[in-house]
A and B are shown apart, each in its own frame.
Chain A
């Protein structure tokens, strides 16, 4: 999902910083919770853990409200924190060899008013295949690809989130896409 980014998000943060207005913070987390949890769930492959990490992101943002400066878009700031938390969490999990790879009922929020049943089943199968292939990508490739395609971040913002250079982002995205295509081709019925 691409976010219709406006300065409004930064303005809400500034309102929280200047006046401590909790409604501004509520508006922010209500707006960003769905894409943030989706991003984190696809990063850590565990919906419950994704929610914990998303809460952690918002708690950190709230606690650091006095030091907030709108140097970049708010979504860049938010997804930068989320990416760091997700990668650290995955590192810890890799070290413990406890990474959960089960599908955990990944995205299955098909509305009753959506397309017909056949289309729903087809869409669900495509999404499941794509989610499985995404899960097999190296963590940083997956993060770069999701930040680009789902959140619409530019290369400079992705580089900041991953603490790397723009040319590395270009390379990460190229490898992520060709690798993903190869995996999807291999798993095609």
Chain B
């Protein structure tokens, strides 16, 4: 009986032709001597035959059109940002990557040029500029001009 339990576990693999040669020969010898296991093997064989004979499930006439509709719908949908980035990165050539340091340096110079620190004495003017929402150094010149106009006005009043 212990032998039958051991061999019974191999019946399925034997049926599928997936049992290694050694255990396969041992099982075949056991099957010749054991009517119970031989019957179990036949039951499994019959079951497999019934499973193979199961009828196919019908498919609706719209099935094929549905495949293409879903493909086109996926193609028309905007790609998520990450996929677009992936595709963009994948399309870069060695030449493109060589340009990266050039672009980075150019950007750094541009940013640096646009935000030169002001001389210390001009901080009062920056405060004025903020009140006019003028933050760029070019605009601060307008504030200088305004100060000069105010001073001119004051001088005129004094005359």
Chain A residues proximal to chain B, CB less than 8 Å: 1-2, 26, 29-30, 33-35, 37-38, 41-42, 47, 50-51, 54-56, 58-59, 62-63, 106-110, 123, 126-127, 130-131, 145-146, 148-150, 154-155, 170, 173-174, 177-178, 180-181, 184
CB atoms of A149 and B52 under 8 A apart: yes
Name A's interface SS. Answer: helix
Q: Tell me the count of chain B residues lying within 8 A, CB to CB, of chain A.
A: 28
- Asked if B115 is an interface residue, CB under 8 A from chain A, the answer is no
The residue in chain B whose Cβ has the minimal distance to the Cβ of A40 is B57
Query: How far does the alpha carbon of A47 sit from the alpha carbon of B52 in the complex, in Å?
Result: 19
B51 partner residues in chain A, CB cutoff 8 A = 130, 145-146, 149-150
A63 partner residues in chain B, CB cutoff 8 A = 71, 74
Q: Considering the complex of A and B, which 3 residue pairs feature the smallest CB-CB distances, nearest first?
A: A149-B51, A107-B55, A174-B12
B residues 76-95 in Cβ contact with A at 8 Å: none
User: Can you spell out 20 A-B residue pairs with CB atoms less than 8 angstroms apart?
Assistant: A29-B67, A33-B63, A34-B59, A51-B60, A51-B63, A51-B66, A55-B66, A55-B67, A58-B67, A59-B67, A108-B58, A109-B55, A123-B53, A127-B54, A127-B55, A130-B51, A131-B54, A170-B13, A173-B16, A177-B12
CB atoms of A107 and B16 under 8 A apart: no
Query: CB-CB contacts of B97-109 with A at 8 A, as 1s and 0s?
Result: 0000000000000
The residue in chain B whose Cβ has the minimal distance to the Cβ of A26 is B64
Q: Quick one: given A51-B63, A55-B67, are A38 and B56 in contact (CB under 8 Å)? A: yes
B18 partner residues in chain A, CB cutoff 8 A = 154-155, 170
CB atoms of A107 and B57 under 8 A apart: yes
Q: Quick one: given A63-B74, A173-B16, are A33 and B59 in contact (CB under 8 Å)? A: yes
A177 partner residues in chain B, CB cutoff 8 A = 12, 44, 47-48
The residue in chain A whose Cβ has the minimal distance to the Cβ of B17 is A154
A26 partner residues in chain B, CB cutoff 8 A = 64
Query: How far does the alpha carbon of A21 sit from the alpha carbon of B58 in the complex, in Å?
Result: 27
A1 partner residues in chain B, CB cutoff 8 A = 52, 56
B47 to chain A, nearest CB (A): 6
Query: How far does the alpha carbon of A180 sit from the alpha carbon of B54 in the complex, in Å?
Result: 15
